[in-house]
Amino acid sequence: MPVTPHQILTCTCEGTMPIDTAALGKAGHEWPQKPATQLCRAQLDHFRKALGAFASVTVTCTQEAPLFAEVAEEAGFAGDLNFVNIRETAGWSAEAGKTGPKMAALIAMSGVEAAPFELVSMESDGVALILGSGPEALEAAATLSETLDITVLLAPGAQVTPPRRTGFPVLQGRIRKAQGHLGAFELTVDEFAAPAPSSRTALQYEEGRNGALSRCDLVVDLTGHTPLFPAADLRPGYLRADPRDGVAVARLVMQAAQMVGTFDKPRFIDFAADLCAHSRNTITGCTRCLDLCPTGAITPAGDSVAIDPLICAGCGQCAAACPTGAAAYALPGVEYLAERLRAGLAAWFAAGGKAAPVIMFHDEGHGAPLIDASARFGRGLPAHVIPVAVNEPSQIGPETLAAALAYGAGGVRILTRARPLHTLDGLDETLALIDVVCAETGYPTDTCALIQTDDPDALEAALWHPATPARSTRSSFLPPSDKRGLLVLAMSEMNRSAPEPAARVELPEGAPFGAVVLDSDACTLCLACVGACPAGALHDNPDMPMLRFTESACVQCGICAATCPEQAITLAPQADFAAWDNPRRLLKQEEPFCCTACGKAFGTRSSVARVQERLQDHWMFAGEAGAARRALLTMCDDCRTKQVVLDGFDPIDKEKVTGES
């Protein structure tokens, strides 16, 4: 066997699944000619041998990954050790004999390395506020007081017997406002009061006050009332349970007891404020991310928005919807996901895949267990369905769907919970957008669709349909690193490889593409729109009064239309693939008007003529007395100022003013 930098070890898992070595070989993979049958036990020496001969080893098993990692550590292996699951995802299927191309795709995708992501930290000293309306709050507090610094805040009107011993503060109050996250909560409390020491059968309180502030590291909510935060289950440090559910309360108490120390979480979103199209000159433009964020982690911040990484729960809908690429998902980056699709689909077809496979995006927490259950107790996944794990299904944007179709996928499915932890409005909008493009370019109905289920049988019912034949035209473009560039390129390539390519597709309002429609008669070429455009889609020409437009850069934020003093601009959401190839399309051009004193161009003939026309009947510019004032209208700013000073020109006709008064 020739020594190569990379070795892939396959195993039939004691003969429970076939390995199509011929198909895998066509995809260009290197491995022993005969797959192992028990690599993790009887043939473990095969793995040890590979560690000594190769700098990179991939094992097509994830179940025994801890064992293989331990052996590699004992052997002092300093190379790359990777694992990929081809058993539950492919080999354990009613169509196991047809899964050679699929296994090749899964192995190829596992070889694409993701860029590292940044972590952010939260510090908790264990200062906890327990909210409640009954005795269960005091019971939870008594348990947690051994490990946490506890304060109990009971809702006004709660009937609670005074504790025998005051081991922690028990207060009354109603939360008016809550903000923050683990380690940094701040709550505004109304009707805040301490109990009277003489309380007998029930706690009695002194007169309350409003606007009290409470700061704590974590909040344990046992009120059973409306949550304090949107998408409350995703707010770090905010723990909530129904007080009537004893098991849930006990589980919550155990969780809260562990919330002391430093906690790291990924910075899910990479944000570039200079690319954000939220606002310019106090005019609001794009609000897509603000409208979609389920946790309230995104807030306006001048011309851009700000994303609090400590509140962000990583749903990714902001990044999926961001038209400029200012917000981009980092776990993983979209270019990495596109590169995985490119590698996997190329391997599929190289291994002999005749059908157009379906890509199914899923998460590890929900989707992977469903796939495992189907493989173990049902028919498993069809041979033409390739599962692709992502951090959150809602991170999938139109650029990813378009890339999958451009690379040759016959369809895309996105698997989510039957009852997601947050709304999927952004994902719904993404699918609606891609549906329009698919319908206009000849792709079948429901080429991209959502599967919402917690039932493996329902998952099988949604997937076990005949595969569609592969298209003759497929793309192999290299995904660019910037999200907007990937979006434009993927859409273009999706259209180019479509069954019926279109020159132009009308899109729904809110689409990330479109045209600026200019009323040439109303436009004065003041070029205020050029200065306001956050995406650089509108351009001027320093040598000529001119307005040019780059359609592929337009994000339809609407700032140009709101800025235009003549209301000469409207928006037309569309994907004009022909226009995308034209870097700068001319919208309007005029001859410049040159200063009658120095000859410098300072405006357009039509704008100067329009001003003269509007002022010709005004008493200040009428007759011979107004001739000097009319002449000033034909001069640039510098010459106009100089002329006024030199002539001692009085811009106000005092006699006229006196006569009129």
The per-residue pLDDT for range 331-344, each reduced to its tens digit, is: 989 999 999 999 99
Task: Please check whether residue 373 lies inside any domain of the structure.
Answer: yes
Banded model confidence at residue 2, pLDDT cuts 50, 70, 90 = very low
- Specify whether the CB–CB gap between 113 and 246 falls below 8 A: no
Give the pLDDT confidence score for residue 340 in this predicted structure: 97
Question: In this predicted model, what pLDDT tens digit does every residue of 537-555 receive, in sequence order?
Answer: 999 998 888 999 999 999 9
Q: Is the pLDDT of residue 582 over 90?
A: no
Q: Could you tell me the residue range of the domain that residue 213 belongs to? A: 121-264
φ, ψ of residue 58 to 5 degrees: the values are -115, 130
- Does some domain include residue 321? yes
**Does some domain include residue 91?**
no
Within-domain flag for 95: no
- CA dist 288 and 293 (Å) reads 9
Do 370 and 485 lie in a common domain? yes
Quote the pLDDT of residue 256.
98
Position 188 pLDDT exceeds 70: yes
CATH number at residue 179: 3.50.50.60
Tell me, yes or no, whether 357 and 312 share the same domain.
Answer: no
Do the Cβ atoms of 327 and 319 come closer than 8 Å?
yes
At residue 626, the pLDDT reads: 73
Q: What average pLDDT does the segment 373-389 reach?
A: 98
Mean pLDDT calculated for residue range 242-257: 97
Instruction: Single out the residue in 83, 112, 143 at which a domain terminates.
Output: 83
pLDDT of 661 strictly over 70: no
Are the beta carbons of 514 and 507 closer than 8 angstroms?
yes
Give the range with max mean pLDDT: 20-34, 421-435, 623-637: 421-435
Q: What's the Cα-to-Cα distance from 396 to each of 152, 331, 384, 450, rounded to whole Å?
A: 42, 12, 21, 11
The pLDDT of residue 624: 66
- Answer yes or no: is 243 within a domain: yes
Report the candidate in 81, 12, 1, 4 with the shortest Cα–Cα distance to residue 47: 81
The answer to whether residue 105 sits within a structural domain is: no
Least Cα distance to 589 among 556, 543, 534, 551 occurs for 543
Residues 159 and 136 sit within 8 Å (Cβ to Cβ): no
Rounded CA separation 525/522 (Å) = 9
In terms of domains, do 465 and 563 share one? no
In the numeric block, which tokens belong to residue 460? 């099988």
CATH number of residue 548's parent domain: 3.30.70.3270
- Please state, for a pLDDT cut of 90, what percent of the chain lies above it: 81
Q: What is the pLDDT of residue 645?
A: 80
Residue 538: name the closest of 530, 546, 119 by CA.
530
* CA gap 35, 60 in Å, rounded: 10
386 with 407, same domain: the answer is yes
Claim to verify: residue 280 and residue 417 sit in the same structural domain: no
Torsion sign (Cα): 40, 45, 48, 52: negative
| Residue that is last in its domain, among 284, 308, 329 | 329
229 burial type by CB count under 10 A (0-12 exposed, 13-18 middle, 19+ buried): buried
pLDDT score at 652: 54
Length of the chain: 661
Those residues whose C-beta lies under 8 Å from the C-beta of residue 8, and which sit 6 or more positions away, are: 29, 30, 31, 57, 58, 60, 107
What is the structure's pLDDT at 542? 84
CB 317 within 8 A of CB 292: yes
Residues 207 and 129 in one domain: yes
Q: Write out pLDDT tens, residues 100-153.
A: 999 999 999 999 988 888 999 999 999 999 999 999 999 999 999 999 999 999
Kindly report the pTM of this predicted structure. Answer: 0.90
Element (H, E) at 50: helix 44-53
Q: CA angle 403-408-412, nearest 5°?
A: 65
444 and 346 in one domain? yes
The reply to whether 445 and 576 lie within a common domain is no
Q: Is residue 480 part of a domain?
A: yes
Are 298 and 229 members of one domain? no
Same domain? 429 vs 345: yes
Quick one: pLDDT band at residue 3, thresholds 50, 70, 90?
A: very low
What is the pLDDT confidence band of residue 304, given thresholds at 50, 70 and 90? very high
pLDDT band at residue 30 under the 50/70/90 scheme: low
314 and 382 assigned to the same domain:
no
The DSSP secondary-structure symbol of 576 reads E
Closest CA to 364 of 85, 12, 95: 85
Q: Report d(CA 261, CA 448) in Å as an integer.
A: 43
Comparison of pLDDT for 92 and 622, the residue scoring more: 92
d(CA 346, CA 470): 12
User: Which of these three, 65, 83, 101, is where a domain ends?
Assistant: 83
Task: Say what the pLDDT of residue 600 is.
Answer: 83
Residue 618: band (very low, low, confident or very high) from pLDDT cuts 50, 70, 90: confident
Overall number of domains in the chain:
6
Residue with tokens 């389920």, as numbered in its chain? 294
pLDDT band at 1 (very low <50, low <70, confident <90, very high): very low
CATH number at residue 45: 3.40.50
Residue-level pLDDT at 601: 77
Q: Do 148 and 282 belong together in one domain? A: no
Q: Identify whether 97 is part of a domain.
A: no
